[in-house]
């Protein structure tokens, strides 16, 4: 029987590009259709890139139950006016991937319901598509009105534009228009072939996810160069990743309190977050972990002194976070703004391919630490926390529960860490396998991060694809506010805390 896809059983992983079967588009469509009919499968990434006189399309599908990554491909001649039948009509979570392919290369997907620009790259196929002429959805009615918010926000966060269609105070539809800060990160990975430069680029993909993205890159690069890392370095990276999760989850708890005017919860959580990010600073000199993750080694191995600081700070934060969250989740005035607000069902989360907090708070058991374990997660028998209701309360409570779980993970890892063993210095002189594809997945605090790289016949990276969890989850926010009063938007928005630059790249 002809092989129709390649199965990967480890994360990260790299294989010969020629090992991926190339299907006709009709076979590709049929296979994707069959794979996506399995509930535990979701699309990790689907992208195209030019390869000599053709476009090569690569689709990666993750199976949460079997822990496999399925890779399949098709190719199209590099001609004008390529038109393919859209997969989105049957499997909605493909909508962003087909939109991106259309935006980059002008490859049209017939029957796609929403073929709009995503991030306005400077080399997009149609330069007539501009931020200023984005085709917003509209409804003709004398009873409805539109409300525009952004792109510059009062909180001086990142730029993005939100257009609400409302009936009185009730939101009928929210359209989220991004792409204001496209930096060409993926293109820079091709222009900067130095491993150190690429590591620094990975740190800059999303400033609040420095550690997760730099781990994703390092795992990918080490896999592509056939390098393995020591047990101690693996433990250090896992600890750093969980510290990042704790810091941001506590910060988000503060922000949620801000949006419901509970100032005590806000200021205490802000102070606790500061303790954690200052722990990072003590460890590596940067509060967000820049410089901490490097390929094959570290400039900042854990010492007895750093371990003691981490343990002491975690004990303090755990105790105080438990106290304040017990108050937050028993205050009627807070619960009235959290419970049943911004609900996204499990079916909706599954349809849009939601990941991370957005998936687990809606009853979807999706967590890369469990489904595709990396670093130390297969050794600690990690089990995800899943809540069924899908509202703001669930997303807030999930953060609390995950903070406590992360603290426990770090304590367990510190107990088995041997700081007498020497951690190697970083190695930036990595030779990548020629004509390979490598993939790595990391569960950042927002959710599933996926990096993919393809090399040419000399081992030079010729295509680099980054998938931040926000790419999936912005649609969850749009669904969450439907039927809500527009005044509920801030707390719904904060309950997801999605990344603008992670989408815009």
pLDDT exceeds cutoff 90 at 152: no
| Structural tokens at position 172 | 């009928």
pLDDT exceeds cutoff 90 at 2: no
User: What's the confidence (pLDDT) of residue 348?
Assistant: 96
Three-state secondary structure of 32-87: HHHHHCCCCEEEEEEEEEEECCEEEEEEEEEECCCCCEEEEEEEEECCCCCEEECC
Q: At 153, is the pLDDT very low, low, confident or very high (cuts 50, 70, 90)?
A: confident
CB neighbours of residue 315 within 10 Å:
12
CB neighbours of residue 452 within 10 Å:
22
Give Dmax over CA atoms of the chain in angstroms: 73
pLDDT one-digit tens code per residue, 61-93? 999 999 999 999 999 999 888 999 999 989 999
Handedness of CA 87, 89, 93, 97 (dihedral sign): positive
| CB-based contact 220:441 (threshold 8 Å) | no
Nearest CA to 362 among 377, 371, 349? 349
Q: What are phi and psi of 209, to 5 degrees?
A: -130, 35
Handedness of CA 50, 68, 186, 198 (dihedral sign): negative
Burial of 412 (0-12, 13-18, 19+ CB in 10 A): middle
| CB-based contact 354:346 (threshold 8 Å) | no
Name the percent of the chain lying above pLDDT 70.
99
- In angstroms, the CA 353 to CA 83 distance is 25
User: What's the confidence (pLDDT) of residue 156?
Assistant: 66
Helix 231-259 with 304-328: angle, nearest 10 deg: 30
| 3-class secondary-structure state, position 457 | coil
pLDDT one-digit tens code per residue, 283-307? 999 999 999 999 999 999 999 999 9
Q: At 504, is the pLDDT very low, low, confident or very high (cuts 50, 70, 90)?
A: very high
pLDDT one-digit tens code per residue, 125-143? 999 999 999 999 999 999 9
- In angstroms, the CA 93 to CA 347 distance is 12
Task: Give the DSSP H or E segment for 177.
Answer: strand 170-177
| CB-based contact 83:105 (threshold 8 Å) | no
| 3-class secondary-structure state, position 434 | coil
User: What's the confidence (pLDDT) of residue 297?
Assistant: 96
- In angstroms, the CA 114 to CA 201 distance is 31
Q: Measure the N-to-C terminal CA separation of the chain; round to a whole number of Å.
A: 41
Average pLDDT, the chain: 95
Nearest CA to 128 among 107, 103, 93, 149? 103
The length of the chain in residues reads: 505
| 3-class secondary-structure state, position 412 | helix
- In angstroms, the CA 286 to CA 196 distance is 17
Mean predicted confidence (pLDDT) in 373-388? 95
| 3-class secondary-structure state, position 396 | helix
Q: What are phi and psi of 38, to 5 degrees?
A: -85, 125
Three-state secondary structure of 423-487: CCCCCCCCCCCCCEEEEEEEECCCCEEEEEEEECCCCCEEEEEEECCHHHHHHHHHHHCCCCEHH
DSSP summary character for residue 19: G
Q: What are phi and psi of 16, to 5 degrees?
A: -65, 140
pLDDT one-digit tens code per residue, 235-275? 999 999 999 999 999 999 999 999 999 999 999 999 999 99
- In angstroms, the CA 476 to CA 164 distance is 15
pLDDT exceeds cutoff 80 at 408: yes
User: What's the confidence (pLDDT) of residue 420?
Assistant: 83
| CB-based contact 468:499 (threshold 8 Å) | yes
Three-state secondary structure of 325-390: HHHHCCCHHHHHHHCCCCCCCHHHHHHHCCCHHHHHCCCCCCCHHHHCCCCCCCCCCCCCCCCCCC
Pairing outcome for strands 13-16 and 6-8 = unpaired
Q: At 158, is the pLDDT very low, low, confident or very high (cuts 50, 70, 90)?
A: confident
pLDDT exceeds cutoff 80 at 25: yes
DSSP summary character for residue 297: B
| 3-class secondary-structure state, position 485 | strand
Mean predicted confidence (pLDDT) in 358-371? 96
pLDDT one-digit tens code per residue, 183-193? 999 999 999 98
CB neighbours of residue 128 within 10 Å:
7
Pairing outcome for strands 161-167 and 145-149 = antiparallel
DSSP summary character for residue 113: S
Does the bond joining 454 to the residue before it have cis omega, within 30 degrees of 0?
Answer: no
Three-state secondary structure of 213-249: HHHHHHHHHHHHCCCCCCHHHHHHHHHHHHHHHHHHH
Nearest CA to 43 among 109, 97, 90? 97
- In angstroms, the CA 16 to CA 436 distance is 4
Q: Which residues contact 168 (CB under 8 A, 6 or more apart)?
A: none
pLDDT exceeds cutoff 90 at 150: no
What sections of 421-496 are H helices per DSSP? 470-480, 489-496
């Amino acid at each position: 029987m002809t092989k129709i896809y390649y199965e990967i059983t480890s994360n990260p992983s790299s294989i010969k590009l020629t090992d991926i079967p190339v299907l006709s588009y009709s076979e590709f469509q049929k296979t994707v259709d069959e794979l996506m009919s399995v509930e535990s499968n979701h699309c990790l990434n689907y992208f195209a890139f030019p390869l000599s006189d053709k476009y090569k399309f690569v689709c990666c599908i993750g199976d949460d139950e079997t822990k496999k990554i399925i890779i399949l491909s098709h190719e199209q001649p590099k001609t004008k006016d390529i038109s393919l039948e859209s997969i989105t009509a049957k499997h909605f979570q493909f909508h962003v991937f087909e939109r991106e392919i259309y935006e980059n290369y002008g490859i049209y997907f017939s029957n796609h319901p929403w073929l709009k620009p995503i991030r306005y790259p400077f080399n997009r196929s149609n330069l007539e598509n501009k931020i200023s002429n984005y085709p917003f959805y509209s409804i003709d009615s004398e009873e409805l009105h539109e409300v525009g918010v952004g792109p510059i926000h009062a909180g001086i966060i990142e730029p993005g534009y939100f257009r609400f269609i409302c009936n009185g105070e009730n939101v009928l539809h929210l359209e989220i228009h991004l792409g204001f800060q496209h930096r060409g990160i993926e293109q820079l990975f091709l222009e900067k072939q130095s491993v150190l430069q690429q590591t620094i680029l990975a740190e800059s993909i999303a400033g609040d996810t420095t550690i997760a993205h730099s781990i994703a890159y390092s795992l990918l690069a080490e896999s592509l160069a056939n390098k393995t890392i020591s047990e101690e370095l693996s433990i250090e990276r896992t600890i750093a990743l969980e510290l990042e999760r704790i810091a941001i989850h506590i910060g988000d708890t503060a922000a949620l309190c801000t949006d419901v005017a509970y100032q005590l919860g806000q200021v205490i959580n802000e102070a606790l977050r500061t303790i954690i990010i200052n722990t990072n600073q003590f460890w590596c000199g940067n509060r967000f972990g820049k410089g901490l993750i490097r390929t094959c080694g570290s400039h900042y191995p854990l010492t007895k002194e750093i371990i003691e600081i981490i343990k002491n700070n975690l004990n303090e934060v755990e105790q105080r976070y438990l106290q304040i969250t017990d108050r937050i989740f028993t205050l009627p005035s807070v619960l009235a703004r959290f419970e049943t607000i911004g609900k996204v069902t499990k079916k909706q989360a599954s349809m849009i391919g939601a990941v991370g907090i957005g998936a687990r708070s809606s009853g979807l058991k999706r967590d890369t630490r469990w489904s595709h374990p990396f670093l130390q997660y297969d050794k600690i028998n990690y089990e995800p926390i899943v809540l069924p209701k899908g509202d703001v309360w669930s997303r807030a409570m999930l953060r609390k529960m995950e903070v406590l779980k992360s603290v426990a993970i770090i304590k367990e890892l510190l107990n088995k860490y041997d700081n007498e063993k020497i951690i190697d210095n970083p190695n930036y002189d990595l030779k990548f396998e020629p004509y390979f594809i490598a993939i790595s997945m990391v569960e950042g605090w927002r959710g599933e991060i996926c990096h993919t790289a393809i090399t040419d016949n000399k081992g030079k990276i010729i295509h680099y694809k980054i998938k931040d969890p926000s790419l999936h989850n912005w649609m969850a926010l749009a669904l969450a506010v439907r039927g809500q009063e527009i005044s509920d938007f801030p707390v719904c928005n904060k309950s997801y805390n999605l990344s603008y630059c992670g989408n815009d790249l």
